[in-house]
Copies of this chain bind each other. A is one copy, B any other.
Amino acid sequence: MREDDEVTFGSGAFREERRKDPSRVLALTDGVFAIIITLLVLDIHVPELSAHEHLRTAIAEVRPSFISFVIAFIVAAMQWVGHRDLFTLIRYTDRGIIWLNLLTLFAVCLLPFGSALLSRYYEDPLALRLFGLILIGTSVARTAIWAYATGRPSLIHEPLDRASIWSGLALSVFPVAIYIIAFAIAGVSSQASLAVYASGPVLYFIAITLLRLLAPRGSAERQFT
């Protein structure tokens, strides 16, 4: 039962509220993320033993699908936490935010394919680049929502000062820069590219922790997860 059910006047204003209400956008997004992080488990098949084979050796076959699940899980979890942080800022949705969010979900949906490809062909520059493109897509779409929302004070909970807007933007652009580097060096050294991808989450955690520590009390930067 919703807040407005008890109010019998001015329901026009309430329809307006409901139209701008982000709750269904969040419900769809959480549903997509829940599916994404459980989807790749479907690919971890129980191995069938051939004659004289031991489960101990056969279980090794599931390693690539397990690694691909771990990669997709970590990346999707980071994206979800980032999405949740972003939408604590956004009070109302409009047409632009809804379609930018659908664009984010489009890129997020490709994460399982990207990580499955990477876990299978981690030495191939093409696999490394496609994985990078998907990650760049998710981060760019999220950055677009941040830029769009912070530029429209009527959509956000409280006006942000310039410094907070820029540090939020920097934090969104930061992973993009890492992924572009990994993308660029994929042709030169696949191992170096892999290492840069792997360093992404680590560097991001360090950056976010630094921002939280350095930011003045109560500012937006302290609110990142």
Instruction: Give which listed residue, B18, B106, B126, contacts A59 with CB less than 8 A.
Output: B126
Q: Give every chain B residue within 8 A of A105 (Cβ-Cβ).
A: 37
> Could you tell me the distance between the alpha carbons of A86 and B82 in the complex, rounded to whole angstroms?
24
Determine if A38 and B109 form an interchain contact, defined as CB atoms under 8 angstroms apart. Answer: yes
- Contacts A34-B28, A88-B19 given: A117-B157 contact, CB under 8 Å? no
In the complex, how many residues of chain A place their beta carbon closer than 8 angstroms to a beta carbon of chain B?
A: 71
Secondary structure type dominating chain A contacts: helix
> Could you tell me the distance between the alpha carbons of A16 and B6 in the complex, rounded to whole angstroms?
12
> Could you tell me the distance between the alpha carbons of A117 and B130 in the complex, rounded to whole angstroms?
26
- Give residues of chain A (15-42) contacting chain B, Cβ–Cβ below 8 Å: 15-19, 21, 23-24, 26-28, 30-39, 41-42
Instruction: Give which listed residue, B3, B16, B35, contacts A38 with CB less than 8 A.
Output: B35
- Counting every copy of the chain, the complex holds 4
Instruction: Give which listed residue, B44, B98, B109, B158, contacts A113 with CB less than 8 A.
Output: B44
> Could you tell me the distance between the alpha carbons of A80 and B105 in the complex, rounded to whole angstroms?
13
- Give residues of chain A (71-94) contacting chain B, Cβ–Cβ below 8 Å: 73, 77, 80-81, 84-85, 88-89, 91
Determine if A12 and B157 form an interchain contact, defined as CB atoms under 8 angstroms apart. Answer: yes
- Contacts A35-B34, A73-B106 given: A84-B5 contact, CB under 8 Å? no
Instruction: List 10 A-B pairs, Cβ < 8 Å.
Output: A15-B89, A18-B157, A19-B85, A27-B30, A30-B34, A32-B34, A32-B38, A34-B35, A35-B38, A59-B130
